[in-house]
């Protein structure tokens, strides 16, 4: 096998965002683009010599080609071993599990998550560290620094590794294990959950619709839900991963998962509905004619996790990203456990999980997970829900109503203004930030402002400080609006406006969500002048 050293020059813009490097697929296919970034992952983490990595992706367009390039580069850089999912397929949570189980030095995941795929869609590369979690900022900063100085990359002339066959292969001195993508993940789920109770639930006629959105969770959900747990065949829809996700947008929310939403409406709807995203780390949960917001899901799971074997008597704390609603805070308070508020980005949960300070973590962006791995995990969330429903006996709609009656309801919605000019978006945020010191005591949208700040996070484990993570404006009565710019878009800027209104336990929990939130939206418009800066009078996507 011959290896070559290819001279190259730095490529601008290879700075990892909220979750790895995400760009248009066409950009990643430019000569040297992927190679430069992968070489910088190796160089920025002390070199690949003698190391073991997990490698896989969500099956989107360019996935298999990129896998072959990375295998050739890892071999040329002296890696000892690669663990690769068959056909280049591995969900993000499955990668996290494999890194931890086989104690590898890290993993490379090819995905742009919930962003559309295909030739004109998006592609992405994420590096996960030896704890199984997304690389923390000190690592992504080191990788980015290398991208600005790179002069050459190493690559094998050719790859003869057949990734479509399970087995052991080699390229030069590098051992390549092509594995079944599902088995290790299923083994882990068996340890965490009461599979017998879930099997009994399905045997009793319980019906589920799981929408894999033509993305990576299809094979996992088919095998575990329909195979092992006995859900009726056909319970998993859109189960075959396709390079362009069936032409869809693999983002599990009521807008993009409309097939699931219509399946869950009407008298003959299944008892439980769920969807997952491109790379399998996000989840969406539904009951008959009912959507459970990710924030409420985190609160409910925290309140009932003791019904699953892995979390019974073994719950140290909970963490949520800052824009996630404060519903879980009330549960944590009642349980007498700490609740941490972190910046957006799963990587910020890593230290809390490693230090045993948090057991469950969640984000408004449809991510929920636990200390079982270091990523959010879509199918895990579905299984925890099923475990709870099987052991509790109530249906999901009743469980949610009872929860609000006990804790109060945090009405919640996110309004996204997409692809706005970057200058307009930063102009809005700069003006808003400048206004913060004078807001306390003022009124907006009929709501009295208690306080406002630009969120900064001092990590309680390593003391690192992360600043300017989004503007929080708190109103009297527990309501709130948060504004920040997305870190995962690939075109222009996306302004996210997170609206939250708290209604106490004895209040009205049956309002239309957008109606309930209209005073908070009015306040956001007054304070941030959204239409003035963006030229839009309403959000593009409301979830």
Gap between the Cα atoms of 10 and 519, Å rounded: 49
- The torsion region of residue 193 among left (phi > 0), alpha (psi -120 to 50) and beta comes to beta
CA-CA-CA-CA dihedral for 321, 138, 154, 157, to nearest 10: -10
Taking the least distance from each CB to ligand G16, the nearer of 291 and 346 is 346
DSSP bridge pairs for 170? 175
Token pair, residue 476, equals 């009297």
Taking the least distance from each CB to ligand G16, the nearer of 348 and 407 is 348
Taking the least distance from each CB to ligand G16, the nearer of 32 and 487 is 487
> Strand 360-363 to strand 318-321: parallel, antiparallel, or no bridges (unpaired)?
parallel
Coil, helix or strand for 274?
strand
Measure the N-to-C terminal CA separation of the chain; round to a whole number of Å.
52
Mention every residue, 6+ apart, whose C-beta is less than 8 A from residue 388. 300, 301, 304, 305, 307, 308, 399
Taking the least distance from each CB to ligand G16, the nearer of 365 and 543 is 365
How many other C-beta atoms are found inside a 10 Å radius of the C-beta of residue 451? 12
- The torsion region of residue 345 among left (phi > 0), alpha (psi -120 to 50) and beta comes to left
DSSP bridge pairs for 276? 283
Rg over alpha carbons for the chain, rounded to the nearest Å, is: 23
Nearest distance in Å: CB 343, ligand G16: 9
Which residue, 391, 352, 397, is CA-closest to 370? 352
For the chain, helix, strand, coil in percent to 5 are 35, 25, 40
Taking the least distance from each CB to ligand G16, the nearer of 282 and 415 is 282
Strands (E), 397-468: 409-420, 443-444, 447-454, 457-458, 465-466
Helical H runs in 241-286? 258-263
Known catalytic membership, residue 518: no
Q: Which of 91, 113, 413, 479 is catalytic?
A: 113
Given the rule CB under 6 A, which residues bind ligand G16?
18-19, 113-114, 281-282, 321, 344-346, 363, 365, 367, 486-488, 496
Which residue, 133, 155, 137, 121, is CA-closest to 39? 155
Residues assigned a catalytic role: 113
């Amino acid at each position: 096998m011959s290896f070559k050293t290819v001279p190259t020059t730095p490529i601008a813009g290879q700075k990892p965002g909220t979750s790895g490097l995400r760009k248009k697929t066409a950009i990643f296919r430019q000569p040297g683009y992927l190679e430069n970034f992968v070489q910088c992952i190796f160089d920025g983490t002390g070199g690949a010599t003698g190391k073991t990595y997990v490698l896989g992706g969500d099956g989107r367009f360019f996935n298999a080609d990129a896998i072959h390039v990375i295998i050739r580069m890892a071999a040329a850089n002296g890696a000892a071993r690669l663990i690769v999912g068959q056909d280049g397929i591995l969900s993000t949570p499955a990668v996290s599990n494999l890194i931890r189980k086989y104690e590898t030095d890290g993993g490379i995941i090819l995905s742009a998550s919930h962003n559309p795929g295909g030739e004109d869609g998006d592609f992405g590369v994420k590096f996960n560290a030896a704890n199984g979690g997304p690389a923390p900022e000190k690592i992504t900063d080191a990788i980015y620094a290398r991208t600005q100085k790179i002069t050459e990359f190493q690559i094998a002339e050719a790859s003869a590794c057949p990734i479509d066959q399970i087995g052991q292969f080699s390229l030069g001195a590098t051992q390549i294990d092509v594995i079944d993508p599902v088995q290790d993940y299923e083994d882990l789920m068996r340890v965490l959950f009461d599979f017998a109770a879930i099997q009994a639930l399905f045997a009793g006629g319980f019906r589920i619709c799981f929408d894999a959105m033509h993305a990576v969770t299809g094979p996992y959900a088919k095998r575990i839900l329909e195979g092992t747990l006995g859900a009726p065949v056909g319970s998993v829809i859109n189960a075959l991963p396709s390079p362009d996700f069936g032409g869809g947008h693999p983002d599990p929310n009521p807008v993009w998962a409309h097939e699931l939403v219509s399946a869950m409406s009407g008298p003959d709807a299944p008892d439980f509905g769920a969807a997952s995203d491109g790379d399998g780390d996000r989840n969406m949960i539904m009951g008959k004619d009912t959507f459970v917001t990710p924030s409420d899901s985190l609160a409910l799971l925290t309140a009932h996790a003791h019904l699953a074997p892995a979390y019974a008597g073994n719950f140290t704390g909970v963490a949520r990203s800052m824009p996630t609603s404060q519903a879980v805070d009330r549960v944590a308070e009642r349980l007498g456990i700490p609740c941490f508020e972190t910046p957006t980005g799963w990587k910020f949960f890593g230290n809390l999980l490693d230090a045993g300070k948090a057991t469950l973590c969640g984000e408004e962006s449809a991510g929920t997970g636990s200390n079982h791995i270091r990523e959010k995990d879509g199918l895990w969330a579905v299984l925890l829900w099923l475990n709870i429903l099987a052991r509790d006996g109530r249906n999901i709609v009743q469980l949610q109503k009872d929860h609000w009656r006990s804790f109060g309801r945090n009405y919640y919605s996110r309004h996204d203004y997409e692809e706005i000019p970057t200058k307009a978006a930063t102009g809005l945020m700069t003006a808003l930030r400048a206004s913060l010191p004078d807001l306390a005591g003022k009124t907006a949208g009929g709501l009295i402002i208690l306080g406002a700040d630009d969120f900064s996070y001092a990590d309680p484990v390593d003391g690192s400080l992360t600043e300017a993570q989004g503007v929080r404006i708190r109103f009297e009565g527990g309501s709130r609006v948060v504004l920040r710019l997305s870190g995962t878009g690939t075109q222009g800027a996306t302004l996210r406006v997170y609206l939250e209104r708290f209604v106490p336990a004895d209040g009205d929990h049956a309002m239309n969500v957008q109606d309930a939130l209209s005073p908070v939206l009015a306040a956001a418009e007054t304070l941030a002048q959204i239409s003035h800066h963006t030229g839009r009078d309403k959000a593009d996507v409301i979830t």
